Amino acid sequence: MHDESQWIDQAKEGDHKAFKLLYERHVTPLYRFMRQFTSDPDETEEWTQRAFIKAFENLHGFDGRARFSSWLFKLALNEMRMDRRRASIVPFVPSNNDDHGSEPGPDLLEWRETMRLWLEDLDETKRTVFLLYEVEGYSHAEIASMLEIGESTSRTILSRAKQYLKTKWQNEEAGR
């Protein structure tokens, strides 16, 4: 089995099969991540596909200092931001879809909806850092690179997002 760095090197040399392997490895996680920023699956698909097109066109510029997935997420986030700037809108209604095949119970559905609403209240940067760190598992160094911010800024943003969510949770519990 080829490892990812070999696929990247081969794709840089014009090997379309190697790029297809990279695409197949990363398309689902990228789509799932971008789905958290819109309720429109077509919009999510568009951002995902444009990120891969940009990756293919600019693969020679990928230097390997970051993970390929970090670089790809950054490209997709840039596509989303450009679209939103053009449209001058910033909607956010994440999906409850999770490709696991089974329907979650009513308590989990209620919790997901509550969390979705709380995440919707976060500004885009806090939501992005929270999702990249807590859901996708990226380090602060990787997030800083993706979002072109400092690592300490990433930590601060995450802390503020968590504090907001903790406060919402405490208010929810107090209301029960």
CATH of the domain at 153: 1.10.10.10
Q: Are residues 82 and 24 in the same domain?
A: yes
Confidence of residue 121 (pLDDT cuts 50, 70, 90): confident
Q: Quick check: 40 and 26 in contact, CB under 8 A?
A: no
- Percent of the chain past pLDDT 70, that is, above it, reads 84
- Tokens encoding 117: 């609403």
Residue 154 in this model has a pLDDT that exceeds 60: yes
- Tokens encoding 113: 């909806």
pLDDT of residue 174: 77
Domain that residue 118 falls in:
102-176
Write down the mean pLDDT value for the chain. 83
**Count of domains in the chain?**
2
- Percent of the chain past pLDDT 90, that is, above it, reads 45
Rounded-to-integer distance, Cα 25 and Cα 138, Å:
17
* Over residues 141-148, mean pLDDT: 90
pLDDT of residue 95: 47
Could you report the per-residue pLDDT of 42-54, keeping only the tens digit for each? 999 999 999 999 9
Rounded-to-integer distance, Cα 57 and Cα 72, Å:
12
CATH of the domain at 60: 1.10.1740.10
